[in-house]
């Protein structure tokens, strides 16, 4: 196996060579996890990296956004990774392991709403422990939007407390003083983490991969303590830690979506093989998008444009980038937020579709 520079070689290097190193990328919705993944895939020279991507929402947008490589990619597409811990995730990992001859590194990107703890436990608590080596949990933080009070999400808290490396990302969007204040706050929540400031998740890879920062002994203790704490401190409706911690029974998806509703986040997915009218969609964004939509992403097709438009919204900021269609144009849009009126949103998005006789022939943006 080719190995990346290791800043701190540990004594059991021999074991490490045999086990597939794994890095878990976590971080809240829109913080830059896919951006980091793309950075890794583009720059991991000479290392064959497999990625497992899981996203919240019925439509897999991320697989459209990940720079395609000739390496293995298995996408789990049925909800939050912490729910699929006992079936799909393990299955996907085995698929990668079966090809171990050609895979040097595994990166798992969790959904923005996942607690990384159950994902990490998958690697430690099952027979995977002997086949993989959990190298580190990397947490991406959106410096512009980070606020645990705003998210009101336990998963957001866990993402910080279980991060071995914490990337303070999107530093380009905030004043340095604000990043300083955020760093103090995060150091307070998680002592001993390696904190790195990044723009577009551009981090030297030796600082985050093959770093051997994950300490499983400490982790096991933390896990059982945190498990107790969670059950002591939170109301009984919020039972999502059961989802990841008890490996002995099957999960049902109702149970899981219940936990997401407790965090208040749901997703609305829209697909159509018809184009949007640009002005209608703009009107939707300007006047009808509720503030409670925290994250949106889409591959958009506008009647007025020959391009494939990649749409992102995180917090209040949105972007629309051009690319080229490699396949039949279509619209795919996922909105994620708290307390969403699904039917209303879907009907509003539906109304953005171009009616057959209108808008034809007008240029983009006119």
How far from chain centre, in Å, is Cα 251? 21
Q: Which residues contact residue 29 at a Cβ distance below 8 angstroms, ignoring those fewer than 6 apart?
A: 56, 112, 113, 265, 294, 295, 314, 336
Q: Please identify, using beta-carbon distances, which residue of 71 and 111 lies nearer to ligand GTP.
A: 111
We find the least distance from the C-beta atom of residue 233 to ligand GTP, in angstroms, to be: 26
Q: Please identify, using beta-carbon distances, which residue of 62 and 135 lies nearer to ligand GTP.
A: 62
Q: Please identify, using beta-carbon distances, which residue of 80 and 96 lies nearer to ligand GTP.
A: 80
We find the least distance from the C-beta atom of residue 255 to ligand GTP, in angstroms, to be: 22
φ/ψ of 140, rounded to 5, equals -100, 130
User: Can you read off the two tokens belonging to residue 337?
Assistant: 């937020």
We find the least distance from the C-beta atom of residue 169 to ligand GTP, in angstroms, to be: 5
Q: Give contact residues for ligand GTP (rule: CB under 6 A).
A: 27, 29-35, 55, 62, 112, 169-170, 172-173, 199-201, 295, 297, 312, 314, 319
Instruction: Indicate the SS3 state at residue 186.
Output: helix
Distance CA 55, CA 37 (A): 13
We find the least distance from the C-beta atom of residue 306 to ligand GTP, in angstroms, to be: 22
We find the least distance from the C-beta atom of residue 98 to ligand GTP, in angstroms, to be: 27
Q: Phi-psi region for residue 152, left (φ > 0), alpha (ψ -120 to 50) or beta?
A: left
Q: Please identify, using beta-carbon distances, which residue of 203 and 277 lies nearer to ligand GTP.
A: 203
We find the least distance from the C-beta atom of residue 353 to ligand GTP, in angstroms, to be: 24
Q: Please identify, using beta-carbon distances, which residue of 32 and 212 lies nearer to ligand GTP.
A: 32
How far lies 348's CA from each of 156, 309, 352, in Å?
30, 20, 7
DSSP designation for 290:
-
Q: Which of 7, 24, 38, 25 is nearest to 202 (CA)?
A: 38
Q: Please identify, using beta-carbon distances, which residue of 2 and 152 lies nearer to ligand GTP.
A: 152
């Amino acid at each position: 196996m080719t190995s990346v520079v290791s800043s701190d070689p540990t004594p059991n290097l021999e074991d490490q060579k045999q086990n597939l190193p794994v890095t878990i990328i976590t971080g809240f919705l829109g913080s830059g996890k896919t951006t980091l993944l793309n950075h890794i895939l583009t720059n991991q020279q000479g290392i064959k990296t497999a990625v497992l991507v899981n996203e919240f929402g019925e439509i897999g947008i991320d697989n459209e956004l990940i720079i395609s490589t000739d390496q293995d990619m298995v996408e789990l597409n049925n909800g939050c990774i912490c729910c699929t811990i006992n079936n799909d995730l393990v299955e996907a990992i085995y698929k990668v392991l079966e090809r171990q001859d050609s895979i040097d590194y595994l990166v798992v990107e969790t959904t923005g709403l996942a607690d990384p703890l159950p994902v990490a436990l998958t690697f430690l608590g099952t027979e995977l422990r002997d086949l993989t080596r959990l190298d580190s949990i990397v947490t991406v933080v959106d410096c512009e939007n980070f606020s645990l009070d705003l998210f009101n999400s336990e998963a957001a808290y866990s993402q910080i407390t279980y991060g071995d490396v914490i990337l303070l990302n999107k530093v380009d969007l905030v004043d340095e003083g604000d990043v300083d204040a955020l760093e103090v706050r995060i150091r307070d929540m998680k002592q001993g983490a390696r904190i790195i400031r990044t723009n577009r998740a551009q981090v030297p890879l030796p600082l985050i991969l093959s770093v051997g920062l994950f300490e499983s002994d400490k982790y096991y203790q933390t896990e059982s303590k945190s498990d107790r704490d969670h059950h002591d401190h939170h109301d009984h409706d919020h039972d999502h830690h059961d989802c990841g911690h008890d490996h002995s029974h099957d999960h049902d998806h109702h149970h899981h979506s219940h936990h997401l509703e407790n965090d208040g986040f749901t997703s609305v997915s829209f697909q159509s093989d018809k184009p949007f009218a640009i002005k209608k969609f703009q009107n939707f964004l300007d006047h009808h998008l509720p503030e409670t939509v925290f994250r949106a992403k889409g591959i958009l097709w506008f009647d007025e444009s020959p391009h494939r438009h990649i749409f992102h919204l995180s917090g209040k900021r949105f972007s629309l980038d051009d690319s080229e269609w490699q396949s039949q144009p279509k619209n795919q849009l996922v909105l994620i937020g708290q307390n969403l009126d699904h039917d209303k949103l879907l009907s509003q998005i539906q109304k953005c579709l171009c009616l057959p006789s209108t808008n034809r022939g007008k240029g983009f943006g006119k």
